[in-house]
C-alpha cells in the first residue's frame, strides 16, 4: 500500500493541560507520530500550557520521557524525536488567573492555523475561553478542542455550550469523542455508503438486531471518586455508544460534509424512544481474585453508581421500527473487547433440510482488539457428505488485506487533531447533538435516582450480571461471546 500522508498547513497548537495524563499518553505521542510520518510542514509550533513551572527545555525533557513511556521503542527514531521536540515550547498559565496570558499572546503568530486544546477539567473551559478572548489570543478562525465529559446532564451541557458560544462560533468548536476517530468507525461509513451491497438491506426488513459492546477489563481504580459521580451511562453510553449507534442507524447524508453527517446523526438521537425500565440492566463489580470491588475503588460503600449497563433501545422511524439495538458496556469484564454486530435475518424460506447448519449473516465491526470487520456467510462445507452448510467469515482485517502499513494507521487522537488543523468538523460532535443525547439520557438517570435503584452485583472477569444475558434470551437472541 502506498502511504498517502498529506501535510497540513503550518499551525500554532496550544495544549492547555499539556502536563496532564491525557497529553502525556495520547496527545503528545500522537503528534510525534504525525511529525515522524511527515504530516507536519515547516513552521509548526506546539506550546504546552499548564500550571507547573517549566521552561521550554524542561518541557521538552518532560515530553521526551512521555514519548519513551507511551510509544514502542521501535517508533522512537532519534532524529525524528529531536525534530519533534524542537517544535515544542512551554508557558506556565493559570486558567483562572492572570499569570502567563500576556506571554502566551506574545507567542502566537499571525497567518497560521491556531488551535487550542482544552485538555483540562470542564470546569476550566469557560475560564480559558474567556481569557483567550480577553487577551486577544484567539483569532476569528481559531479552533478550540474540548474534551469529554461535555456536561453532566442537559442543563450543564446547555450552560457549557452557552459559555463557549460567548466567545467562539460553533464552527470553531471541536467536541472530541475519540471513538469517532477510530479507523474502523470511519470505515463503517465507507462500507455503508461506498458499496451497493449493504445499504439496500440496511433496515428493519432485513436486519434482526444490532449489538454494540464496549467491554473493559480495568476497574475504575485511580479515578474512582470521579467515576462515582458519573457511572457507565454518563461515561460511556451518552457519548461513545450513542455515537456508534448514530453511525449505524443514520440515513445516508447527501455528502460527506460536517453538517450533512451531523444532521443525520442528530435525527437518530431524536428518534430514540424512551427506554422501558425492564429493558435496562445496571451492574456493579464485586471484588475479584486480588482486585477490589467497585465500592472499594470508588471509596464509597453506599455507592449506587453502575459500572456496567446493558439496555435494549428502539428508534421511532420507518427504517428501524421493530429492530432492537442492544447496548452494553462495563468495567472489569472478561475481555477488553469493543464491537458492533449487525445481525441479519435468516432467509425467509430454507430450501435445505433441517440441521444442515444454516444461520443468519452477521457483519461484525471490531474496534478492539484487532480493528477490522468480518462478514459471516453460509457456504457448503467442502467435500463429500451431502449438503452440509457452514458459516465462514469474509475477513476484512486491515493488516491482512492491506499489508503492514495498515496495521500502523494513526490512532484516533492523532487523526482527530489533524482534522482540527484541517478545519474538518465531520468527526466532532455538534452542540445540538450533545444536548439531544443528554435529553434522552437524563430521564433514565433521573428515574434511577428517584427510585434509589440498586445496581446488581457481578463477578470481576465475567460478562456482567446474568440479567444482561436474560435481556437477550427473552427475545430469543444472545450476545456474541467476549474474547480478547
Ligand atoms: P490531569 O489531571 O492529568 O491534568 C490536568 C492538566 O490541567 C494538568 O496539566 C494541569 O496542570 C492543568 N491544570 C489544572 N488546573 C489548571 C489551571 N488552573 N490552570 C492551568 N492549568 C491547569 O487530567 P487529564 O487526565 O489529562 O484530563 C484532562 C481532560 O481530558 C479532562 O477533561 C478529562 O476528563 C479529559 N479526558 C481524559 C482522559 C484520559 O485518559 N486522561 C480521557 C478522556 C478525557
pLDDT of the residue at 405:
55
Alpha-carbon distances, residue 44 vs 8, 47, 142, 273, 434 (angstroms): 10, 10, 15, 47, 32
Phi, psi of 207 (to 5 degrees): -105, 125
> Mutation test of ligand 1: which of 48, 121, 238 has the most ligand atoms closer than 8 Å to its C-beta?
121
- Residues 299-320, mean pLDDT to the nearest whole number: 97
- Please indicate if the annotation marks 158 as binding a ligand: no
Is 73 annotated for ligand binding? no
Neighbours of 443 (CB within 10 A): 11
108 close to ligand 1 (CB < 6 Angstrom): no
Q: Is 52 in the pocket of ligand 1 (CB under 6 A)?
A: yes
pLDDT average, residue stretch 140-155 = 95
Q: Determine the topology of domain 11-147 in CATH.
A: Rossmann fold (3.40.50)
Separation CA 333–CA 326 (nearest Å): 17
pLDDT at 400 over 80: no
Q: Which residues contact 412 (CB under 8 A, 6 or more apart)?
A: 178, 179, 180, 181, 182
Residue 273 marked as a ligand binder = no
pLDDT at 40 over 70: yes
Q: Determine the residue of 66, 120, 223, 229 to mutate for testing ligand 1's pocket, defined as the one with the most ligand atoms within 8 A of the Cβ atom.
A: 120
Query: Cell 478545519, residue?
Result: 423
- Which of the two residues, 106 and 404, has the higher pLDDT score? 106
In this prediction, residue 353 carries a pLDDT of 78
Give tens-digit pLDDT for 245-277. 999 999 999 999 999 999 999 999 999 999 999
Least confident of 186-195, 261-270, 393-402: 393-402
Question: Is pLDDT of 2 > 60?
Answer: no
Ligand 1, atom 32: nearest CA belongs to which residue? Answer: 121
The full DSSP string for 353-368 is PTTS-----EEEEEEE
Going by the DSSP 8-state scheme, the letter that residue 378 receives in this structure is E
pLDDT surpassing 90 at residue 97: yes
Lowest mean pLDDT, pick from 56-65, 120-129, 376-385: 376-385
Three-state secondary structure call for residue 36? helix
Distance 330 CA to ligand 1 centre (A): 23
% pLDDT > 70, the chain = 96
| 182 in a known ligand binding site | yes
Supply the DSSP symbol for 409.
P
- Write down the pLDDT at residue 407: 55
Arithmetic mean of pLDDT over the chain: 93
The answer to whether the CB of 121 is under 6 A from ligand 1 is yes
How much is the average pLDDT of 381-399?
81
User: What residue spans of 198-329 are helical by DSSP H?
Assistant: 224-228, 231-232, 242-249, 258-271, 294-298
pLDDT digits (tens, 9 = 90+) for 66-80: 999 999 999 899 999
Give the residue from 108, 120, 112 showing the smallest Cα distance to 149.
120
Whole-number Å distance, alpha carbon 316 to ligand 1 midpoint, is 38
Distance of alpha carbon 421 from alpha carbon 222, whole angstroms: 33
Of 178-182, 286-290, 304-308, the range with the highest mean pLDDT is: 304-308
pLDDT for residue 319 is more than 80: yes
Q: Exposure pattern of 269-293 as b/e (b: 16+ CB <10 Å)?
A: bbbbeebeeebbbbbbbbbeeebbb
Q: For residue 309, report the distance from its CA to the centre of ligand 1, in Å.
A: 26
- The protein residue whose alpha carbon is closest to atom 39 in ligand 1 is 22
Q: Report the share of the chain in percent with pLDDT over 90.
A: 83
Average pLDDT of the segment spanning 199-212: 97
Ligand 1 within 6 A of CB of 239: no
d(CA 306, CA 328): 12
Instruction: Check pocket membership of 20 for ligand 1, CB cut-off 6 A.
Output: yes
Give the C-alpha distances (Å, rounded to integers) separating 91 from 14, 49, 201: 10, 5, 55
How deeply is 447 buried, as exposed, middle or buried, from its count of CB atoms within 10 A (0-12, 13-18, 19+)?
middle
The helix-helix angle for 431-451 and 258-271 (nearest 10°) equals 20
Q: Give the residue among 367, 363, 364 at the shortest CA–CA distance from 412.
A: 367
- Whether 397 has a pLDDT exceeding 80, the answer reads no
Q: Which residues contact 299 (CB under 8 A, 6 or more apart)?
A: 224, 225, 228
Q: What is the mean pLDDT of residues 175-196?
A: 92
State the greatest distance between any 2 C-alpha atoms of the chain, in Å, as a whole number.
81
Q: Is residue 330 part of an annotated ligand binding site? A: no
Question: What average pLDDT does this structure show over 429-450?
Answer: 97
Catalytic residue from among 133, 135, 169, 240: 240
Q: Is 240 tagged catalytic?
A: yes
Q: Where do we find the cell 434470551?
A: 473
Ligand 1 proximity of 70 Cβ (cutoff 6 Å): no
Specify the pLDDT at position 363: 95
User: Which of the listed residues 14, 16, 18, 21 should we mutate to test ligand 1's pocket, taking the one with most ligand atoms within 8 A of CB?
Assistant: 21
CA within 13 Å, CB half, 46: 28
| Beta-ladder partners of 311 | 280, 327
How many angstroms does the Cα of residue 20 sit away from the middle of ligand 1? 5
Least Cα distance to 77 among 66, 89, 67 occurs for 67
Q: Does domain 180-406+430-473 have CATH number 3.30.360.10?
A: yes
Confidence (pLDDT) at 404: 55
For 377, the enclosing helix (H) or strand (E) is: strand 372-380
In the predicted model, is pLDDT for residue 96 greater than 80? Answer: yes
Contact 101, 14 (CB under 8 A): no
Whether residue 178 has pLDDT greater than 80: yes
Q: What is the pLDDT of residues 447-463, one digit of tens each?
A: 999 999 999 999 999 99
Rounded Cα–Cα distance for residues 292 and 279 (Å): 29
Cell triple for 385: 457428505
Tell me the domain boundaries of the chain.
11-147, 180-406+430-473
Q: Which residues, other chains included, contact 168 with Cβ-Cβ below 8 Å and sequence gap of 6+?
A: 129, 138, 142, 144
Which atom of ligand 1 lies closest to the CA of 16? 21
- Reading the block at residue 98, the C-alpha cell is 492572570
pLDDT at 82 over 70: yes
Amino acid at each position: 500500500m502506498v502511504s498517502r500522508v498529506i501535510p497540513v498547513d503550518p499551525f500554532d497548537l496550544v495544549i492547555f493541560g499539556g502536563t496532564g495524563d491525557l497529553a502525556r499518553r495520547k496527545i503528545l505521542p500522537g503528534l510525534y507520530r504525525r511529525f515522524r510520518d511527515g504530516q507536519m510542514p515547516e513552521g509548526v509550533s506546539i506550546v504546552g500550557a499548564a500550571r507547573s513551572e517549566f521552561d521550554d527545555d524542561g518541557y521538552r525533557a518532560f515530553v521526551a520521557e512521555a514519548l519513551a513511556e507511551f510509544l514502542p521503542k521501535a517508533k522512537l527514531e532519534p532524529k525524528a524525536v529531536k525534530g519533534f521536540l524542537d517544535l515544542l515550547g512551554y508557558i506556565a498559565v493559570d486558567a483562572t488567573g492572570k499569570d502567563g496570558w500576556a506571554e502566551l499572546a506574545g507567542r502566537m503568530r499571525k497567518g497560521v492555523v491556531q488551535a487550542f486544546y482544552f485538555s483540562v477539567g470542564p470546569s476550566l473551559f469557560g475560564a480559558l475561553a474567556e481569557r483567550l478572548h480577553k487577551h486577544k489570543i484567539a483569532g476569528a478562525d481559531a479552533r478550540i478542542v474540548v474534551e469529554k465529559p461535555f456536561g453532566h446532564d442537559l442543563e450543564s451541557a446547555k450552560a457549557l455550550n452557552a459559555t463557549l458560544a460567548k466567545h467562539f462560533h460553533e464552527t470553531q468548536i471541536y467536541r472530541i469523542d475519540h471513538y469517532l476517530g477510530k479507523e474502523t468507525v470511519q470505515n463503517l461509513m465507507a462500507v455503508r455508503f461506498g458499496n451497493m451491497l449493504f445499504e439496500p438491506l440496511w433496515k428493519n426488513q432485513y436486519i434482526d438486531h444490532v449489538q454494540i459492546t464496549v467491554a473493559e477489563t480495568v476497574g475504575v481504580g485511580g479515578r474512582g471518586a470521579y467515576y462515582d459521580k458519573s457511572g457507565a451511562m454518563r461515561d460511556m453510553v451518552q457519548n461513545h455508544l450513542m455515537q456508534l449507534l448514530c453511525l449505524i442507524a443514520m440515513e445516508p447524508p447527501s455528502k460527506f460534509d460536517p453538517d450533512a453527517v451531523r444532521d443525520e446523526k442528530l435525527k437518530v438521537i431524536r428518534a430514540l424512544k424512551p427506554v422501558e425500565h425492564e429493558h435496562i440492566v445496571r451492574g456493579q463489580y464485586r471484588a475479584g481474585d486480588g482486585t477490589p470491588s467497585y465500592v472499594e475503588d470508588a471509596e464509597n460503600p453506599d455507592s449506587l453508581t453502575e459500572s456496567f449497563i446493558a439496555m435494549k433501545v428502539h428508534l421511532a422511524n420507518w427504517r428501524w421500527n421493530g429492530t432492537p439495538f442492544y447496548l452494553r458496556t462495563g468495567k472489569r469484564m472478561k475481555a477488553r473487547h469493543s464491537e458492533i454486530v449487525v445481525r441479519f435475518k435468516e432467509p425467509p424460506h430454507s430450501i435445505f433440510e433441517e440441521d444442515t447448519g444454516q444461520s443468519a449473516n452477521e457483519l461484525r465491526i471490531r474496534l478492539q482488539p484487532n480493528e477490522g470487520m468480518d462478514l459471516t456467510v453460509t457456504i457448503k462445507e467442502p467435500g463429500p457428505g451431502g449438503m452440509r452448510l457452514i458459516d465462514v467469515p469474509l475477513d476484512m482485517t486491515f493488516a491482512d488485506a492491506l499489508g503492514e502499513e495498515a496495521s500502523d494507521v494513526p490512532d484516533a487522537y492523532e487523526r482527530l487533531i489533524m482534522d482540527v488543523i484541517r478545519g474538518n468538523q465531520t468527526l466532532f460532535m455538534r452542540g445540538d447533538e450533545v444536548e439531544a443525547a443528554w435529553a434522552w439520557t437524563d430521564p433514565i438517570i433521573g428515574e434511577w435516582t428517584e427510585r434509589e435503584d440498586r445496581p446488581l452485583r457481578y463477578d470481576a472477569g465475567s460478562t456482567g450480571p446474568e440479567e444482561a444475558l436474560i435481556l437477550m434470551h427473552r427475545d430469543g437472541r444472545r450476545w456474541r461471546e467476549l474474547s480478547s
